Chains A and B, each alone.
Chain A
Amino acid sequence: MAPAVCRTLLGLALYAGSLCAAGSAAFLYHDYCVIGAGPSGLQMAYFLQQASRDYVVFERSHAPGSFFALYPRHRKLISINKQYTGKSNSEFNLRHDWNSLLSHDRRLLFRHYSRDFFPNADVMVRYLEDFASLLKLQVQYNTAIVHVTLEKDEQAWNGHYFLLTDQDRQNYKCSSLLIATGTWVPNVVNFPGSEYVEGYETVSINPEDFAGQTVLILGRGNSAFETAENILGVTNFIHMVSRSRVRLSWATHYVGDLRAINNGLLDTYQLKSLDGLLEGDLEDLAIVKDKKGKLHITLRFYLENRNTSAGSDSITLPQDELDNFATRAPYDRVIRCLGWKFDFSIYNRSLRMMPGKGNKKKYPQIKPSYESRSTRGLFVLGTASHSVDFRKSAGGFIHGFRYTTRAVHRLLENRHHGVPWPSIVYPITQLTNSIIKRVNEASGLYQMFSVLADIILLRENATTFEYLEEYPVGVLAELETQTGRKAPNGLFVIIMEYGRNFSGADKDVFYYNRAVGEAQHAWQSNFLHPVIYYYKHLPTEREMRLRPPDWPLPRPDAVHHIVEDFLTDWTAPNAHILPLRRFLENCLGTDLRNFFAESCFLFAFTRQKLPPFCGQGYLRMQGLVGSEGLRRHAVEASLLEDYTPNDFSGDKAPDSPEGSQDQLLRDHVIPVRPLQHLVNAKDEL
């Protein structure tokens, strides 16, 4: 009972962080608790602050972004910081700024912090400090949350409160828990001799320490290659072992795979410069140190079978049997660069924070709405939320999760505060425009391709529509409850996709004719391009579950691809806009063409119904008169009839072929179906 009372009291208190005593344990209450003041924690703090919510961010370090204070060890971020794009559109430019967080403050763009294309990690730390302080975010530093548990309470938003305990045994109570701790626990593999292995966390970054040494690196991610890159020039040679084959990010279109900036070792390997890559399971490995301190690679199998009484000399090495064994040369150092995983240790069992399956085991299991699978009200943000789009999109990286964090915030606003998902209502005449505008500039759609989608909800009779930005497409079926918007008349879902089967670890992404140029073959586009799905009814959860593999969405009633574009500029009137309009027209069963006022005048006098453009423009006294020159062009294109008396008099020589052709054209500009009675009446006269 006490917590409820406490909460009521807090409702009266105007400031956050009131102290409340309940029984013996004192705790501080907040509606929202965010754990971690890294990029995603601060990003969420920003949105909560903007919405004037009661929140606090707990950060164990004395400053934000403590991960970046240490990592990457060699300090070069591999997220691009593009200074110039040739465009001034700030939204578009965010597509090529992978470091900035979202805010209204233009000073907080990363390009004001660094001019490097791949900036130094220290700059990121400074940026995050500024972000927290300039925006006056509520961050409680030096607070390490060491335990999280649940307290059942029917009054609570989610049927329970989250109880957090910090290193000083201070307790906190929150209605909603937002986990932005990232993945910071280094992955470690245990095998005989693993005590000789140095970790990426502590290994020297001074190349001179490696001069004349032979190095074995365990792992094949960016940290492994980054480490290799640093010492490439001074070592005897470097070998790299990992279970999986190297995945190149330019082949997979996944920014987390090996980036070209780190792949110097591939060059030296393939150009026969002694360095090399090997595939093997680290679990089978064993390392033996000889008397000189050199490290020998052997197999766990040999160690298990050896005579325990014998000394180290008696250990069988693979080369004893296979004299051309690849790693028979002894190493001076072995470095482990195996990445990180989520810290599961602080959560009480009742929260059931489960690791994902397979290659997602480093992340906690969450739904596509970023909410925990088992604990309502617990959301995972940032890198730790990457299981949603692991190895697909950018949800594990700043340029991706800044948008998914915003999406989570919007879900929370709707769920807890009755603030529906922001939307704009447009007249149907703006349908094509609103899509073209978004696919050309929206950064969230572009970075979080196939994960976040713009949604167009059609209003009755399709005369107006509602536009929702960047909704997590995985929970499309729950749209109405998650956004507070209604979708009774069908919807369009706008997402960006790469061509299916185009990207992949061993795909040749440079084959001839990889590009599609014709709008009519747009569905075969390979490069990132906009795709619009049309549903007459909101897909159900079952339909979402049974969707084809690799499809972000279930089978639509119609689908449109805007053909891939070399400049990612989808504004060409004939190749991009026209096919899109046709698609929309055919979905809605209407005519979405623009007309000059003169055409609307004609329709107004001769038809009982008007096309939307005339009805919503001309009839409301906002007709498009158009300049003389433009109307002439339209006449030349036979899309507008020229009724000026000179041409019309009919005494033009009928034998002139040009004249008769014009006449023929003109006859059909508007299908002439004379009013039967009037024609007859005329005949009688």
Chain B
Amino acid sequence: MQSKQLLHGFNSSFDRWVSSFSFLLFCASSIPAWGSGMLLQELGPQEYFRSLQAGRASLAYFSRKASPGAQPFLEQIENSAEALQDYGISVVKVNGDKDCESSTCGQEAGILPCFSHRVKYVETLADLQNIEDTLKGRSNMVFAYVPATGTAEHRAVMEAAFVYGTVHQFVLTTEATLLKDTGHEDPDVSSARLLFCHCQQATDLAQPCRRTAMGQALTLLNIHRHLKLMGAPLVTEVAEDPEKVSTVHLQLGLPLVFILSQKDTYEADRRTAEFVAWQLLGKAGVALLSRYLLLGVLGFPLLFVVFLRVLASQNVPKFPPVLCAPVFMHGCGSLADIQDDQVAEAVSRDKKRELPLEQILVLTEETFHSALLEAARTVVLFYASWEAVSLAVLQSYTEVADHLKGTQGVLLSRVNCWDWPGVCTEENVTQFPTIKIYQKGEGSVMYDGMWGTEELTSFIMLSRVSCPLKLTTIEEAEGYLRGEFPSELSSYHHTSVLGVFSTATSEGYFGQVLFPSLFFRSRKYAVSPPALLFARSGGRNVEGIALSKESTQDMVQMIRYELLDIFPEITVQNLPRYLQLRKPFLIFFSDGDIGQMESKEMLKLAKGRPRQAFVACWLNLKKTPVGHGVLKVYFATVPSLPLLLWVNLHDGGQVFKFPSEQTVTETNVLSWLERLKAGLEIPSTLSEEDWKPPLPAYDFLQMMETAVPELPLHNSHHHGDPPVPESPGGDTTVREEPSQQTKAEKVGSPGRDLRGTAPRLAAREKQGKRHSEL
């Protein structure tokens, strides 16, 4: 199923290729040796074919009426008849009058060497089937229909038979009915046809042989080409660099389709490849590529990887590979067309859904300044409606709006910078998205946290509390440290930072600190002012740090550091904070909550002597499922859990696994760490690969050069040469190329007409005219 759909798309893009090639033809027209007969006989075509005897060669002259010019020649033929007779070759004059319906045959009259033993003439379907049946399992058949004898097509078939007659059985007919019977619905009986019947591989005697029609006009070259293609192996297996492969198809200027195969799916891939090959027979070759790094290049899956290669030559532009994969709506596309940006793709898949934006006020150039005066705090999301990350954040923002519904004093709003660039420039917004919180009558604060619903919500909630918050009573202070005061914060998990100052030192410190804090006089927490108190998890854990003469920046740094947990659970959201410490991680992977034992031991390690040297932490795979992905990279499959790892993400990127047979105790871990330090364990190293362009881009420069070679694109190094004027022919070259390509393309997907700058709403009936109009 999958492959059929893909083929549909593939064929269309493929046709484009074929149609745009100028075929590289090589002429193998053999000069046929003349046949012979007895004396010149005059026969009608039917009689002539009937008279053909197996094993006898004949020289036939087809003529409608002996034109005066041909007369001397005819005389020569007659003269030679006798001589040829000695060689067992009969000379026959076939009167084509009654069969000659096509206007061409009169002009095309000429000599036809006929090798009766190589071409069988059939009149009925039964004859044809008889021949076919006898050939099954033995050899292939070439079946040709010519509307009239003596035509150029007829001649081409006969000449081809001379070359290939010993390889394939040639069968000829002039009966139009036979053409219909062989499966041509509504055939155009005025033009010649050639079918290649694959009888050699036919195993089922009841079934007719598979047939491949030749698409091109019946000329000797085309037949030769077709037979050559039919003779090539159906699927070529390739293990080398696809750029180095050479097959008949490539030599003939046809594309070669590579299908990527994997070890475990080889059989299925082989079947797919054969299926594809049958569909493309005569148009393109199929190669099964057993191993190729394409997947690594892509970084994401392709169920069915196909890409084309065409022999690059002077005449054929080198196209970027075409790839067929489920990611393409139309089945196939260029590698460059694959949307591999997860955010952009996710947003575009979501575009039909209407966001619940009612809660968010839309601001314009006119309303922006007045809106800021309405609420105590106005949150403004600056975004661009065309930008994927902006739209992703807008989604989270609507969730924030939902959480904060009914909250007093906060107004959520947005400015689309694509509509109102003036506001955004004025507000110094140069990147999308940007969130700023404007406090009435004061300045604004730029949000610089995670673009997530939770983080944003709590930031907005915390920003409602004035900062620093001045606490005047000991009750307020204790309530604050318990996280109960002010009441609007009680439901948001946060750490309270309390500045303790004596009146004398209270000036000049807290201007820049963003955490809710307070002026407070107390000695309860065993620090003397000035000092900072940190209260985590509802005041159960309060720590104090004495202050000396730190600068504001140092203090911010200190608070940031103190806000980090001693033995944190690593999540997607908080990892960057711990990464900033630039220390190795001693990380405990647990499927669910961490066990009490391990927790205790790990905490001991965290608090212990080497605390400064590493970050002891744990990861809950249930809460942070992406941890599975991490383990999969480390171990290929997920090992048994729980699991303790030493991960040094900084210098060198080394990973060590704590032996799973040992129990996680402080002593065991410490001695293991000693072994690591001593270099007794062999580290595994994380990939230090650079982030290269994931996929190629269109090489327009090369396309331009190929299509318009006379265009003096090259930086000519000929000194002082005047620029070569563009030749008038350059014009048409440029123009013709796209039309042919787009034509075939548009057949494949009708919707594509409605693009560009001049859509064609009713394109189909016009297609035939395109070339002449250019």
Contact = CB atoms under 8 A, between A and B. Distances in A.
Interface in B476-516: none
Interface in B707-740: 711-716, 721, 723, 725-726, 730-731, 734-735, 737-739
A152 interface: no
Interface stretch (A14-22, A410-418, A573-581): A573-581
Contacts of B657: 678, 681-682
Nearest to B420: A88
A129 B634 CA distance: 74
Nearest to A517: B755
Interface in A526-575: 526-527, 543, 546-550, 554-556, 558-561, 563-566, 571, 573-575
B24 interface: no
A598 B575 CA distance: 10
Given A515-B755, A623-B573, A668-B301, A559 B697 contact: no
A598 B572 contact: yes
A514 interface: yes
B32 interface: no
Contacts of B576: 604, 618-621, 623
Contact of B341 (A581, A645, A669, A673): A581
B289 to A, nearest CB: 16
Contacts of A604: 575-576, 579, 649
Interface string A412-427: 0000000000001011
A605 interface: yes
A607 B451 contact: no
A639 B346 contact: yes
Interface stretch (A221-229, A313-321, A433-441): A433-441
Given A582-B695, A674-B634, A546 B716 contact: yes
B243 interface: no
A421 to B, nearest CB: 17
Given A582-B336, A634-B345, A645-B625, A593 B726 contact: no
A589 interface: yes
A288 interface: no
B642 interface: no
Contact of B635 (A554, A565, A626, A674): A674
A543 B723 CA distance: 12
Contacts of B387: 433, 436
Interface string B17-46: 000000000000000000000000000000
B688 A638 contact: no
A441 B301 contact: no
B299 A671 contact: yes
Interface string A319-353: 00000000000000000000000000000000000
Given A597-B572, A633-B346, A543 B715 contact: yes
Given A433-B432, A501-B734, A679-B636, A586 B700 contact: no
A467 B420 CA distance: 20
Contact of B629 (A520, A575, A602): A602
A305 interface: no
Contacts of A673: 633, 687
A611 B691 contact: yes
B23 to A, nearest CB: 22
A624 interface: yes
B716 A520 contact: no
Contact of B725 (A516, A549, A633): A549
Interface in A102-137: none
B703 interface: yes
Q: Which of B295, B301, B347, B685 lies at the interface centre, i.e. has the most chain A CB atoms within 10 A of its CB?
A: B301
Interface in A633-685: 633-634, 636-645, 648, 661, 664-679, 681-682, 685
B682 interface: yes
B327 A637 contact: yes
Given A573-B388, A608-B686, A89 B418 contact: yes
Contacts of B624: 601
Contacts of A566: 755-759
A521 to B, nearest CB: 5
A489 to B, nearest CB: 17
Nearest to A676: B684
A374 interface: no
B342 A512 contact: no
Q: Which of A522, A589, A677, A678 lies at the interface centre, i.e. has the most chain B CB atoms within 10 A of its CB?
A: A678
Contacts of A261: none
Contacts of B713: 548, 555
Contact of A575 (B455, B647, B755): B755
Contacts of A181: none
B430 to A, nearest CB: 6
B21 to A, nearest CB: 17
Q: Which of A636, A637, A641 lies at the interface centre, i.e. has the most chain B CB atoms within 10 A of its CB?
A: A637
A664 B303 contact: yes
B128 interface: no
A630 interface: yes
Contacts of B347: 573, 630, 633
B756 A593 contact: no
Interface in B730-774: 730-731, 734-735, 737-739, 741-742, 745, 752-760, 766, 769-770, 773-774
B349 A511 contact: no
B757 A518 contact: no
A583 interface: yes
Given A636-B349, A672-B633, A675-B633, A595 B342 contact: yes
A500 interface: yes
A622 interface: yes
Interface string B422-462: 10000000111000000000000000111111010000000
A627 interface: yes
A640 B699 CA distance: 29
Interface string B246-278: 000000000000000000010000000000000
A645 B622 contact: yes
B757 A526 contact: yes
B694 A593 contact: yes
24 contacts: A90-B365, A426-B431, A436-B387, A501-B731, A515-B758, A520-B336, A548-B723, A578-B337, A582-B693, A582-B698, A589-B690, A606-B633, A608-B687, A611-B691, A626-B346, A627-B399, A637-B339, A637-B346, A640-B342, A673-B687, A677-B682, A677-B683, A679-B635, A682-B639
Given A558-B697, A611-B691, A637-B349, 9 more contacts: A440-B418, A558-B700, A565-B757, A573-B344, A594-B388, A604-B575, A624-B343, A624-B389, A627-B396
Interface of A: 87-91, 424, 426-427, 430, 433, 436-437, 440-441, 500-501, 511-527, 543, 546-550, 554-556, 558-561, 563-566, 571, 573-575, 577-579, 581-583, 585-586, 588-591, 593-599, 601-602, 604-612, 618-627, 629-631, 633-634, 636-645, 648, 661, 664-679, 681-682, 685
Interface of B: 265, 295-296, 298-303, 320, 326-327, 334, 336-337, 339-350, 353, 364-365, 384, 386-389, 392-393, 395-396, 399, 417-422, 430-432, 448-453, 455, 572-573, 575-577, 579, 591, 621-622, 624-630, 632-636, 638-639, 647, 649, 652-653, 655, 657, 659-661, 682-701, 703-704, 711-716, 721, 723, 725-726, 730-731, 734-735, 737-739, 741-742, 745, 752-760, 766, 769-770, 773-774
